[in-house]
Amino acid sequence: MMMIQVVNDVVYFMLLFVIFILTFAECYHIVQVNTDAYGRLPAIAALFLGTLRSAMGDFSLIDPYQGFDIQRKQKPGVHCTDDACKYQHSRLIVFFTFFIYVVCVFFLFMIFMNFIIAVIGESYSKVNQYATAHDYRQRVIMIYEKEIHFGQEDFDNEEYFPNILIVRKKK
């Protein structure tokens, strides 16, 4: 029940988060970031996952050996001398991809991620404030669930439904 409350509180935030990730994934898509590691997934879905990973602090979106600067597979017998033959993207695009990457990490990981944690923390403490009351409410719901299964003899049971409750308290 606490969880539902917290999820309710962050749902719009999550929506915004998804929009942000989609935007950056689309940016990566435009500069044709390599998605071979994701196998048969369509490029935009793979990039969405990649951006989500980088938002969570897993930066393996970049190939550890080549970064965004992917080298072409060399054909046997052909010796490349110029960049266009050796690399997939031009120098400008590679620089630009790294620029997008830094912006993406800054916004998604550093700002957004901490925002979400803060919102969840706040929502949790708000719920926690009324934890006992929430608890009793849940119990009542459960008691009701039990009581609808009662027959007349249960309702007449003096132990289940006493006429008076006496509570002794130590001062």
Partner 1 sequence: MQYNYIHLDKIQGEDKISLTRTLKDSEDLALFEQEAIQIIIDYKWETYAKRFFLIKLFTYAVFLVTFFVDLETLHGNASEEADVHPRIKDLPFIIRKVICELIQLYFLMYEIVQFRKEKKEYFKDFWNYFELLGIFLYQWASILDITNENTSDICRILFVFSVMFSLIKVLYLIRVFR
Residues that bind partner 1 (CB under 8 A): 1, 3, 130, 132-150, 155, 159-171
In the complex with partner 1, the residue whose CB is nearer, 81 or 163, is 163
C-beta closer to partner 1: residue 82 or 159: 159
d(CA 114, CA 109): 7
Q: Which is nearer to partner 1, 12 or 150 (CB)?
A: 150
CB of 97 to partner 1, least distance (A): 36
29 vs 134 by CB, closer to partner 1 = 134
CB of 122 to partner 1, least distance (A): 18
Find the length of the chain.
171
SS (HEC) of 84-121:
HHHECCCHHHHHHHHHHHHHHHHHHHHHHHHHHHHHHH
**Residues 136, 120: Cα–Cα separation, whole Å:** 23
Least Å from the CB of residue 49 to partner 1:
19
